[in-house]
Structure 1
């Protein structure tokens, strides 16, 4: 999904720009010349992964943000917040804070499974000591007003995309147009900037969903959007959460507002429009509901937003 031009991707791009600007304003991170803060950081951790303790000599090293660089964490790419990690630990940490990650257990966190509880708390202590020494001014703690600002800009960008998409839909219908698919530094003081891949990694899972839905989302990027929608709705019917939304999802206007679908998301009589609905029904209270089959990639992010913000009320 990271490469798809969706409202969420556009909004995340704006947040990435804002966080990068905030990091530069806060001093950034230098990685070249005599003022080499990255080498100082590596030395502070003994050239070892800040989380796993693995020796990084001659091994791939990720520049990991202790406080995640996303709209929920508000972490910046600055000296003190950027620490060394193995690629595996970096991937497993994703958008978690350093302390939450180090206290996490289970199959999803195999890179730190070997650590004892004392090892985990010691690692947290080392990271926090490094952060205090690097930035005694307290700049590493995101200010509540800044976090509110990041969230507000994210929502504005998504709203702008949604408004433009709705206006486009109306125009396409007016014109009777068919559905179409969505469209080296030498300065010693040059700041080190966060990679797009790192930001996108930390932006994942900033909205907490139940495990079943997280698993569906994790596999979602490998599915066609129709299969993804079916998987989401199958789970919603299976656990009964769909009940509260059935009155809205059977209306075209509400379905367009939620997903930008041109037809109701669900109907109870497929024979009236068999070409636009999947044949396998979902059951609720003895009634068969058929899911609209007219999903396009432009609808994927809307489905995710509806799931996280409407169904579960998480808008990180």
Structure 2
């Protein structure tokens, strides 16, 4: 049977969203450019799995959070907490801390069964040395106030689900549309006899509701692996490539226009004369109808969400 979206699952999604925001505020993980932190991470571990010690050259590599990305552990997607792992070790580690996982034994942890106790402790020490080197500011240590905040947000989200369900039941009853009580578990229909939408289907249809073409959905899907400047460049490269940019060019080349305010930039998103402000615009131009346009380079994390919203709410809002 397909999985039902539950208040706990919704609350966990909310907490993951907050953890993602916290990670971005703390610098995130750079995966491109001269300061490629993911490459530096792999170099530190000798291109081996941080847990099993397996050589990962030419093999699939998972980015695993040493301190789990959940409300209990408060791990963040930042340089110092993301380590290379085999897919199997990553799956078996699940939501455990790196040290708890490496000290775990039994059939369900067969990915690390070959390690001696000394090798397990050495792997823990290696990960902790990496954390200290990458984040000497202490960010990766447990912060009681942050953990309390995540727990509070989790409970609030669950309460919101319960309140919404109660209000929905009242509205359905008012409209004579309720086939069965929503909140009375004793008389609720047996879920085993029903076909319920899966979490994956919810996510698929929520994405479709944004009305974004596939190319843009792919860009958004990997947007949090990029710094915000790279994300903006990927978006505008696609807009120019498929010609969607055409009807927005007049708006994007004036600072006072609605698009500039929507994107929360301090300068026009696009100009045609980079020599007027060379430090504020990327050097590589985009071309449309014989004219070269230069993209503003002054993107900060505060611009990431406005850029995504601009795409879904303005650029592609009218698509069927």
SS of the aligned residue for 1:125 comes to helix
Task: Give 1:28's aligned residue.
Answer: 28
Secondary structure of the residue aligned to 1:64 is strand
Q: What is the CA distance between 1:7 and its match in structure 2?
A: 1.8
Given that 2:106 and 2:113 are in contact with CA atoms closer than 8 Å, whether structure 1 keeps it comes out as yes
**1:170 counterpart residue number:** 170
Residues paired across the two proteins, number: 198
Partner of 1:261: 184
**Normalised TM-score (structure 1):** 0.58
CA distance in 2, matches of 1:3, 1:176: 27
- TM-score when normalising by structure 2: 0.57
Contact 1:2 1:9 in 2 (8 A): no
SS of the residue aligned with 1:142? coil
Q: Residues 192-239 of structure 1: CA distance to partner in whole angstroms, max 9, x if unpaired?
A: xxxxxxxxxxxxxxxxxxxxxxxxxxxxxxxxxxxxxxxxxxxxxxxx
Give the gaps of 5 or more residues in structure 1: 181-255, 266-275, 278-291, 301-316
Provide structure 2 residue ranges, at least 5 long, that are not aligned to the other structure: 200-320
1:296 and 1:2 map into 2 onto residues whose CA distance is 7
Is contact 1:261-1:295 (8 Å) kept?
no
1:150-209 CA-partner distances (Å, limit 9, x unpaired)? 0111110110011110111122223221438xxxxxxxxxxxxxxxxxxxxxxxxxxxxx
Look up the match of 1:139. 139
- The alpha-carbon deviation at position 28 of structure 1 amounts to 0.9
Q: Look up the match of 1:62.
A: 62
Q: Which residue of 1 aligns with 2:80?
A: 80
Please state how far the C-alpha of 1:264 moved relative to its aligned partner.
Answer: 5.0
Asked whether the 8 Å contact 2:22–2:76 carries over to 1, the reply is yes
Residues 154 and 297 of structure 1: CA distance in aligned 2, closer, same or farther (over 3 Å): farther
Please list the CA deviations of residues 263-306 of structure 1 after superposition, one character each: whole Å capped at 9, or x if unmatched: 458xxxxxxxxxx78xxxxxxxxxxxxxx9888859x9xxxxxx
SS of the equivalent of 2:41 reads: helix
Q: Identify which of structures 1 and 2 has the higher relative contact order when contacts are C-alpha pairs closer than 8 Å and 6+ apart.
A: 1
How many angstroms apart in 2 are the aligned matches of 1:262 and 1:52? 45
Distance 1:74 1:86, change over 3 A: same
2:7–2:158 Cα contact (<8 Å) kept: yes
Structure 2 match to 1:269: none
Match of 1:125 in 2: 125
Q: Is 1:11–1:157's contact at 8 Å kept on the other side of the alignment?
A: yes
Question: Contact 1:11–1:158 at 8 Å: present in 2 too?
Answer: yes
* Aligned alpha-carbon RMSD (Å): 2.7
Q: 1:158 corresponds to which residue?
A: 158
* Contact kept? 1:67, 1:81, Cα under 8 Å: yes
* Cα distance in 1 between the residues matched to 2:58 and 2:103: 28
Q: Contact 2:80–2:134 at 8 Å: present in 1 too?
A: yes
User: After superposition, where does 1:1-316 map in structure 2 within 5 Å?
Assistant: 4-179=4-179, 260-261=183-184, 263-264=186-187, 297=196
